[in-house]
Structure 1
Amino acid sequence: MAARWSLTWRDRPPEEAALLNPAFCGELIARATREYERLRAAAFPLPLGFLVLPLVLHPPTLAKLPGRANTTFATWSADNEALLVELPERTLRLRPISREALLFLTQHRALMVDAAGLRTGEKPIRLTAKLATVTKDVDDIRRAAGLLGRWFANQGAPVQILQTMGVTP
């Protein structure tokens, strides 16, 4: 599987290159980071950054994410246990994409990584910009990424979030 992600962009299947490109995936992680920072006034824990893509890019999981960040995390996790069974594997499969997105963001100084986690960089992505053409699906994914940042900010320690979702740090 790792060899697939090492292909040049022109050699990747077009639909994968479009959805999993570092700019778009980075934007999703940046949205979660910004919302987490806004509520917690703290860095977004790096391990949680690796949960963003597996949660928002998986249509069945995206459809089941709560509509509000004050939804009880443990209850939601218990109600959606069937979806979360596959989350550790999805997280591992998307880890190279998440890394590539984080590298893209840090190279463009949109995010910084330090010992505390992810922080908005000196040249943040303009997340409020309206694009000329966008689909409802992409809007839903973007909204969900911001929601994850707020939702995670309302939870306990990152290790508890990861354990509840079945992902080991």
Structure 2
Amino acid sequence: MHYRGSLTMASRWSLAWRNRPPEEAALFNPAFCGELIARATKDYEKIRASAFPLPFGFVILPLILHPPTLAALPGRANTTFATWSADNESLLAELPERILRLRPISREALLFLAQHGVLKVNAEGLRTGEHPMKLSAKPTTSTPDVDDIRRAAGLVGRWFANQGAPVQILQTMGVTP
């Protein structure tokens, strides 16, 4: 469930949806990726009562759609990010590259969310919009892998909300806002 292939990422993401490999079209479609970002935003807002920092919107997908990183995420949102980072340096070393490679997908998902009123994007960051997704309902068809990814999106939102300043989290990941 991760991204690889012989096409450059820029050309791959510019293909029409019907011309993309079916697995990638299913995993990286704007509605599903947007749902993941919306879950993280909603859970962050519950704890912090503030906007989800926009750079975090570009970190969610590379963290939870990469199987080794997904498997390494903590089980609880009160785990300190610094401790987790020290234990997972090799995964974080690759994260900036994954963020760059998935930036078009994250951007497309954020635009989808904004166009449908699911999220508002402003100077503060991301906030739940006028038409939020119904995220508590369990989809009628799903797989255990997709359920794990959905849970992880909310966990990462809560986890980031329980940490220090967003800039510190991004710097620890090797990302500059």
TM-score interval, normalised by the smaller of the two chains: over 0.9
**Structure 1 residue 95 displacement after superposition:** 0.3
Corresponding residue of 2:116? 108
- Normalising by structure 2, what TM-score? 0.94
CA distance in 2, matches of 1:165, 1:130: 32
Map 1:109-128 → 2, pairs under 5 A = 109-128=117-136
Asked whether 1:156 is paired with 2:132, we answer no
Between 18-27 and 157-166, the greater mean CA deviation after superposition: 157-166
Write the distance in 2 (CA, Å) between the matches of 1:99 and 1:149: 18
**Aligned pair 1:65/2:73, yes or no?**
yes
Q: CA RMSD in A?
A: 0.6
Residue 85 of structure 1 corresponds to 93
Q: How does 1:25-40 map to 2 (within 5 A)?
A: 25-40=33-48
Structure 1 residue 41 corresponds to structure 2 residue 61: no
Runs of 4+ in structure 1 deviating by more than 4 angstroms, as ranges, are none
Gaps of 5+ in 2: 1-8
Counterpart for residue 149 of structure 2:
141
Aligned counterpart, 2:6: none
Gap regions ≥5 residues in structure 1: none
Aligned equivalents of 1:103, 1:155: Cα separation in 2 = 27
Counterpart of 1:2, as a letter, is: A
Aligned-pair CA distance for 1:132? 1.4
Question: Matched residue of 1:66: which SS?
Answer: coil
| Distance in structure 1 (CA, Å) of the matches to 2:33 and 2:139 | 16
Q: What's the CA shift for 1:44? A: 0.1
* Pairwise CA distance, 1:157: 1.2
> TM-score when scaled to structure 1?
0.99
What do the CA deviations read for 1:47-84 (whole angstroms, capped 9, x no partner)?
A: 01110000000000000000000001101000000111
2:18 is aligned with what amino acid?
R
Identity %: 81
- Please say if 1:3 is aligned against 2:11: yes
- Partner deviation per Cα, 1:118-156 (whole Å, 9 max, x = no partner): 000000000011211111100000000000100000111
- Amino acid aligned to 1:107: Q
Indicate yes or no: 2:102 matched with 1:98.
no
Aligned-partner SS, 1:86: helix
